[in-house]
């Protein structure tokens, strides 16, 4: 019943087609789309806009801001239509990535908690249209988001005009799980009062001046399902290493029995690590994260997770039906917040999260590259990993030790791009093992990372690099002329493996591992 979803009857006259709404968007404008990790995204107006570009003979460019990645191939379709000038703060689409790497699309890779501040501070180009998905608009003028909050709140607040995509395929029972809080201007704001994962501090919807809503487009299309891969032998090993470590931390009195609120980045590896909790003894767990993936709902179903706070819900086809069709049972166990709150340094540090994020590669001192393949080609973006890692109680990075059939080592002498510095990386986990770097100096870190995390096929050549680096001296010893040689060789020869490793390693004294600090 549309009347349940548009409770103010005067809103009916704002209903327009996607094509009409797309027609309002002009060359040079900035649009801001709802959507975070494929969930709750604006699904039809951007596509109608791309269609218009193809039909018209007048090329135009717009800037596109979002929460994070979109579903429904929106990024691909916009990229293909050639209408995107600048894109921020995150994307995960193959075609858009190509156009970013060719320089056709300008991509600003931001910490996901920073975008709202940049908009509030008038740092970015002003937003002409916010286009946000909703399940309903209340009689008092609140837009009720669907499966994500993302940046929708600040977009609606700051945009000159708003287009709502009212999606009747999203259950209206989602109303009530959102908690919309705006911290206000820097220099004038109060402490954010959140002190526990389940606490509600805001309103159930995004307040909007009805006059600012220029159009409402009725849609009927589910979210794109997540493309997450199932856990495999290696991700199961990684989960095992991490859970053993957490067990040890509890035993040492450094974590309570129910651990600390958990954050996990998007992706198969992080999801698999969460899966590992299913068969563990841990219960009464809490989640304070961005995206709530399949494993979170499996753990909620199993009674392992007590409460989960996120900013979006992104599920596989298997899980989407069961969760959205029986949403009532999750209502008192879930809250979705704006991404600047789910990722806010103030809250991350206060709650003392355990954060688990994915690395593309890490170096022998613990610097992490999360974004740029071979230092140059963007994958997706830093996302929220920096918001969490810098401020969490325990910053964990996970990666398989090798990629591309063993031709790439994820542990290298020197990473080609740094998103997380040695100062912010506490623990690195691969299927080979876990390196606990807390309280270690660089010369203590290197042998631990080489021994615990590196694939055996790369361990001798990494030791060899480190031994040569040690002979040069320094706080973080390196051989600058060889620091990037693994990547250079991969680019030219297709493998980082050195074909004839020198035999020095067998003559070496074993390196001491660890400082006995834990």
Shortest distance, CB of residue 420 to a second copy, whole angstroms? 8
Instruction: Consult the annotation and say whether 404 binds a ligand.
Output: yes
Annotated catalytic residue, options 249, 290, 340, 451: 290
Tell me, by CB under 8 A, how many residues bind a second copy. 88
What residues numbered 257-296 form the site for a second copy, per CB under 8 A?
Answer: 260-261
Q: Which of 82, 171, 176, 352 binds a second copy (CB under 8 A)?
A: 352
Instruction: Consult the annotation and say whether 269 binds a ligand.
Output: yes
Residue listed under structure tokens 């009212």: 166
Q: Directed axis angle between helix 459-472 and helix 442-453, to 10°? A: 170
- What secondary structure letter does DSSP report for 183? -
Active site includes 290? yes
Closest alpha carbon to 45 in 25, 21, 27? 21
3-state secondary structure 390-432: HHCCEEEEECCCEEHHHCEECEECCCCCCCECHHHCCEEEECC
Using DSSP, state whether 361 is helix, strand or coil: strand
Instruction: Consult the annotation and say whether 384 binds a ligand.
Output: yes
Q: 3 vs 186, which CB is nearer to a second copy?
A: 186
Instruction: Consult the annotation and say whether 385 binds a ligand.
Output: no
**Binding string to a second copy for residues 466 to 485, with x set by CB under 8 A, is what?**
---xx-xxxxxxx-xx-xx-
What residues numbered 399-428 form the site for a second copy, per CB under 8 A?
Answer: 414, 416-424
> Which tokens is 157 given?
């607040």
> Which tokens is 144 given?
């009720």
Closest alpha carbon to 272 in 304, 233, 244? 233
Task: Tell whether residue 187 is a contact of a second copy (CB under 8 A).
Answer: yes
Rounded distance between C-alpha atoms, residue 205 and residue 145, angstroms: 7
Task: Tell whether residue 362 is a contact of a second copy (CB under 8 A).
Answer: no
Q: 117 vs 298, which CB is nearer to a second copy?
A: 117
Using DSSP, state whether 250 is helix, strand or coil: helix
Instruction: Consult the annotation and say whether 380 binds a ligand.
Output: yes
Rounded distance between C-alpha atoms, residue 21 and residue 28, angstroms: 16
What residues numbered 70-129 form the site for a second copy, per CB under 8 A?
Answer: 86, 100-103, 106-111, 114, 117-118, 121-125
> How far, in Å, are 157, 482, 509 from residue 68 at the CA level?
18, 36, 48
Rounded distance between C-alpha atoms, residue 41 and residue 34, angstroms: 5
Task: Tell whether residue 456 is a contact of a second copy (CB under 8 A).
Answer: no
What residues numbered 35-74 form the site for a second copy, per CB under 8 A?
Answer: none
Q: Residue 313 forms beta bridges with which residues?
A: 292
Shortest distance, CB of residue 86 to a second copy, whole angstroms? 7
What residues numbered 200-259 form the site for a second copy, per CB under 8 A?
Answer: 252-254, 256
What residues numbered 434-453 form the site for a second copy, per CB under 8 A?
Answer: 438-441, 443-444
Instruction: Consult the annotation and say whether 267 binds a ligand.
Output: yes
Q: 474 vs 494, which CB is nearer to a second copy?
A: 474
Q: 2 vs 106, which CB is nearer to a second copy?
A: 106
Rounded distance between C-alpha atoms, residue 452 and residue 55, angstroms: 57
Q: Could you tell me if 460 and 498 are in contact, meaning their C-beta atoms sit under 8 angstroms apart?
A: no
Q: 151 vs 167, which CB is nearer to a second copy?
A: 151
What residues are labeled active site? 290
Binding site, annotated residues? 265-269, 380, 384, 404
Binding site, annotated residues for CoA? 265-269, 380, 384, 404
């Amino acid at each position: 019943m549309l009347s349940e979803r548009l409770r103010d009857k005067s809103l009916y006259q704002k209903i327009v087609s996607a094509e009409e709404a797309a027609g309002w968007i002009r060359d040079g404008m900035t649009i801001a789309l709802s959507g975070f990790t494929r969930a709750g995204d604006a699904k039809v107006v951007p596509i109608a806009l791309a269609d218009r570009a193809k039909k018209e003979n007048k090329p135009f460019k717009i800037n596109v801001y979002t929460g994070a990645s979109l579903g429904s191939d929106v990024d691909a379709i916009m990229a293909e239509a050639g209408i995107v000038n600048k894109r921020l703060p995150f994307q995960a689409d193959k075609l858009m990535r190509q156009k970013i790497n060719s320089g056709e699309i300008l991509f600003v890779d931001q910490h996901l908690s920073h975008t709202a501040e940049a908009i509030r501070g008038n740092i970015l180009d002003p937003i002409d249209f916010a286009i946000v998905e909703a399940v309903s608009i209340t009689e008092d003028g609140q837009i009720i988001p669907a499966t994500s909050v993302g940046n929708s709140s600040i977009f609606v607040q700051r945009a000159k005009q708003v287009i709502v995509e009212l999606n009747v395929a999203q259950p209206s029972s989602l109303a009530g799980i959102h908690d919309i809080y705006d911290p206000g201007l820097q220099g004038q704001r109060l402490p954010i009062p959140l002190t526990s994962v389940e606490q509600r501090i805001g309103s159930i919807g995004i307040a909007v001046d009805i006059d600012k809503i220029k159009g409402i487009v009725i849609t009927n299309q589910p979210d794109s399902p997540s493309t997450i891969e199932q856990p495999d032998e290696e991700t199961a090993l990684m989960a095992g290493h991490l859970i053993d470590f957490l067990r040890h931390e509890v035993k040492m009195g450094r974590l309570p029995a129910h651990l600390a609120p958990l954050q996990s980045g998007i992706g198969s590896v992080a999801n698999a690590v969460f899966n590992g909790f299913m068969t563990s003894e841990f219960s009464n767990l809490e989640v304070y994260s961005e995206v709530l993936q399949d494993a979170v709902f499996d753990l909620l179903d199993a009674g392992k997770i007590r409460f989960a706070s996120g900013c979006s819900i992104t599920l596989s086809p298997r899980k989407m039906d069961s969760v959205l069709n029986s949403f009532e049972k999750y209502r008192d166990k879930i809250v979705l917040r704006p991404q600047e709150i789910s990722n806010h340094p103030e809250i991350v540090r206060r709650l003392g999260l355990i954060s688990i994020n994915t690395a593309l590669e890490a170096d022998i001192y613990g610097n992490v590259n999360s974004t740029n393949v071979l230092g140059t080609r963007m994958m997706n973006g830093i996302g929220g990993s920096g918001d969490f890692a810098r401020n969490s109680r325990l910053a964990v990075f996970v990666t398989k030790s090798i990629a591309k059939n063993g031709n790439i080592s994820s542990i290298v002498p020197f990473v080609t791009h740094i998103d997380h510095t040695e100062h912010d990386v506490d623990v690195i986990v691969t299927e080979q093992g876990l390196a606990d770097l807390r309280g270690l100096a660089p010369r203590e870190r290197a042998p631990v990372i080489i021994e615990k995390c590196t694939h055996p096929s790369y361990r001798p050549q990494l030791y060899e690099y480190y031994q040569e680096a040690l002979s040069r001296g320094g706080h973080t010893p390196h051989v600058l002329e060889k620091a990037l040689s693994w990547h250079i060789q991969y680019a030219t020869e297709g493998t980082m493996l050195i074909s004839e490793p020198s035999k020095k390693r067998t003559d070496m004294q074993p390196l001491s591992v660890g400082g006995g600090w834990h």
